[in-house]
Amino acid sequence: MKVSRRGLLAGAAVGGGLLVAWSLLPREFENPLAPGENEFAVDAWLKIGADGVVTVAVPQLEMGQGVTTLLPQIVAMELGADWRQVAAEPAPVSGAYANLPLAAEWAPLWKPVIPALADDPDDALLRNWAQDERFTVTARGTTLAAYEAACRDAGAAARAMLQQAAAERWDVSWEQCRAENGVVYHDDKAASFAELALDAARFDPPDPPPLKTEAPVDQAVLAGIQDTDIAPAFPRVDLPSKVDGSHVFAGDVRLPGMVFAAIRHGPHDKAELLDFDASLASGQRGVIQLVRGKRWLAAVADNWWAAEQALQSIAPRFGIDRPARSSSINEALGRHLAEGPGTVFEKRGEGIEGYTPTMSRRYDISPGVHATIETTSATARLMDGILELWLPTQAPEQARKAAARALGMSAGKVVLYPVSAGGSFDRRLDNEVAIEVALLAREVGRPVQLTWSRWQEMVASKPRPPAAGLVAAQTDDEGNIAALRLRVASPPTMREFGRRLFENEVSWAAIDALEGEADPFAVSGLAGPYGVPNLSVEHVPVVTMLPSAPMRGQADGYNCFMRECFIDELAQDHEREPMSYRIAMLGGDPAMADVLQRAARLASWDGGRPGSGQGMACHRMQLGDAVGRIAVVAEAGAGEGGLRARRLFACVDIGRVVNRDIALQQIEGGMVFGLAMALGCSTDYSEGLPTHQRLSALAMPTLEDCPEIVIELVASDAEPFDPGEIGVPPVAPAVANAFASATGVRLRRLPLLSALP
């Protein structure tokens, strides 16, 4: 958001604070960052108080990724603020915070009238749509791409205003002043932000704002410091409250007169509530009311346990029109992979025209569950025609609209208070709970908090899609790839998700509407970084009765598994060393070759010889101009309790690193998530219900199971790439390749443990 002297007005704000409002915002936007007493607001992003506190708006969901630190840090670095006086404030839903890079990435989902005019963040059509729709979705690691420039502009503008206020006091040129650690200096004179704040609101910032010559970057990374014991320069804002328990998650909300609800959902897909015997719960103390939905039954009580026990006693019956069954899903995937028509989304050279494969392998992916620690929870209050929601959501405007439609009211009558999520992995892109809790608030007539049990989280969640893949190559006698075919059969998950999110369709309607239509997102990352001269990447759409959803790592999470396992098999078949075999195909991406070599040095790579228990994989992801590269070496083998990953080594190039500590946390968390997807986090389905009911049944790694993880960050001044997802894709193939080198057993199904006899 660009700052202009012409667009500035200073004046009294509500409550006596001073407001600096930008007319560059569309006129229908009120400034969403309301200043309080003795504060002035700079743009929609920043306000400074007479006490020196700098408050930064955060329009993204905090779900453990550190966004409530990252955006304030960017402002603080540009402003010259004292980090100890910087606060984060969750921003209300507003078009002022439109996530343009994600809107461009997801243009095929919201389907602009003229696609060519809405596939770039700079396109006017896209900007208008994103602002009008208040599109602030948190996904795909777009935080820096979407908001870094606006935060820097706000910080630079505020810095100039403070310097001008100081310069007027000292009768000097403002350009000769400097701002550091919350103080403005000129020679031996100094004034704190607190002293200058209200005077600063009278000044216009220069046009354009005077940005610092260097973009925000963590100096520790530039210095080659990888030691996580080094205290970060910008410690996380949310850590103290999470440590002492005062941080507000969805289940922590309490309102006067609030009651608590538990729920039972029907199986996937298109289930309907048939009947139930309410008298079976008549002896349960604390129960207030039963609420019947078309496809669910909720119990409301003065405490959640009483509501849950009432539903346990009632055991409502559901009828299901099209039950999801793993046997049917697997049969459909295999049939379509072998015979179904597909769409080629990437072709290089001649593709597979006239090729004769010398090796082909099939890979299978089971449905994966998000398995968040915090189950779905939301609170609602309907009073005087206004619906208030306390909800952790990655798509806040879509949640407001969904709840409003359910109650037949305007979205303008829905107020959403964002609360943090205890993990998401893209689970909080789904807003079904907003509809449910809104209906409950209407029926009960009191504030109500709805919390899904773990079993209901498993029943109602939409998993990562099942998939089957065929990877085939034509090689010469030395194993050099002349042509490579990558074919994936899976549901068109992202397009299905898009219809649910943007068009409010029920899952089965979205599935039916997309029959036979391929999904470009389904082949994300499949081609990989290799310079194969002839290549074909193809998606075969498959209709299943199981609705599916995006998950951390996206389709890259399993596409990388198929490709990197196949590359290892080719290397083994031609007696080629796996790292040098990969590097030989990376002539067009020397940065990836460097990352591979660095990871190998970290792990003391011995060539992945048989019996070594070492395996490697690499992957590249891209969003706009930002590129992320990662190479992982795993040490794994069979031990007590089955397959164990003992150590993971990763070298990661994500361009300019803004916060080393958060980057390392996110990469390590992504690698643990990738390990969970490699070893478990999956379920089969029988008559529409998952066969696993609890976290303990998902074979997820415990703290004891987690391997030692060593990460090296590459110093770079390239555009920053988000660290949150890139750690996921290469872990499963690296572990599978390590297991193959340790035991000679090649596993081609995720999760890997499901492939063992």
Mean pLDDT of 664-672: 97
Q: Do domains 250-321+376-451 and 340-368+463-755 have the same CATH topology?
A: yes
Q: Where are the domains of the chain?
A: 5-98+134-208, 250-321+376-451, 340-368+463-755
Average of per-residue pLDDT values in the chain: 93
pLDDT interval class at 227 (50, 70, 90):
confident
Phi then psi dihedrals of residue 98, to 5 deg:
-55, 130
Asked whether residue 597 carries a pLDDT value surpassing 50, the answer given is yes
pLDDT interval class at 3 (50, 70, 90):
very low
Q: What is the per-residue pLDDT for 641?
A: 65
Asked whether residue 15 carries a pLDDT value surpassing 70, the answer given is no
Q: What is the per-residue pLDDT for 602?
A: 97
Q: What is the per-residue pLDDT for 755?
A: 60
pLDDT interval class at 756 (50, 70, 90):
low
CATH of 5-98+134-208, one of 3.40.630.30, 3.40.718.10, 3.30.950.10, 3.30.365.10: 3.30.365.10
Phi then psi dihedrals of residue 720, to 5 deg:
-70, 140
- Across 130-139, 256-265, 697-706, least confident range: 697-706
Mean pLDDT of 688-705: 91
Q: What is the per-residue pLDDT for 20?
A: 41
Asked whether residue 393 carries a pLDDT value surpassing 90, the answer given is yes
The 10s digit of each residue's pLDDT in 35-60 is 889 999 988 999 999 999 999 999 99
| Helix, strand, coil share (%) of the chain residues, nearest 5 | 35, 25, 40
Whether the CB-CB separation of 320 and 271 falls below 8 Å is answered with: yes
Asked whether residue 1 carries a pLDDT value surpassing 50, the answer given is no
Taking the CA atoms of residue 165, residue 171, residue 174 and residue 175 in that order, the dihedral angle to the nearest 10 degrees is -170
Between CA 35 and CA 10 the distance in angstroms is 12
Asked whether residue 681 carries a pLDDT value surpassing 70, the answer given is yes
Whether the CB-CB separation of 543 and 606 falls below 8 Å is answered with: no
- Architecture per CATH, domain 250-321+376-451, reads as 2-Layer Sandwich (3.30)
Asked whether residue 2 carries a pLDDT value surpassing 60, the answer given is no
pLDDT interval class at 29 (50, 70, 90):
low
Q: What is the per-residue pLDDT for 348?
A: 97
Closest residue by Cα to residue 382 from 444, 320, 472 = 444
pLDDT interval class at 34 (50, 70, 90):
confident
CATH of 340-368+463-755, one of 3.40.50.1220, 3.30.70.100, 3.30.365.10, 3.20.10.10: 3.30.365.10
Between CA 92 and CA 90 the distance in angstroms is 7
Mean pLDDT of 474-484: 97
Asked whether residue 593 carries a pLDDT value surpassing 50, the answer given is yes
pLDDT interval class at 189 (50, 70, 90):
very high
Mean pLDDT of 416-421: 95
pLDDT interval class at 11 (50, 70, 90):
very low
Asked whether residue 26 carries a pLDDT value surpassing 80, the answer given is no
The 10s digit of each residue's pLDDT in 98-107 is 999 999 999 9
Q: What is the per-residue pLDDT for 22?
A: 37
Residue 232 CA: distances (Å) to CA of 69, 217, 293: 12, 13, 50
pLDDT interval class at 28 (50, 70, 90):
low
Closest residue by Cα to residue 674 from 724, 638, 713, 720 = 724
pTM exceeding 0.75:
yes
Mean pLDDT of 294-321: 97
Residue 667 vs residue 640, higher pLDDT = 667
Q: What is the per-residue pLDDT for 757?
A: 53
Distance of CA 89 to the CA centre of its chain: 20
Q: What is the per-residue pLDDT for 16?
A: 34
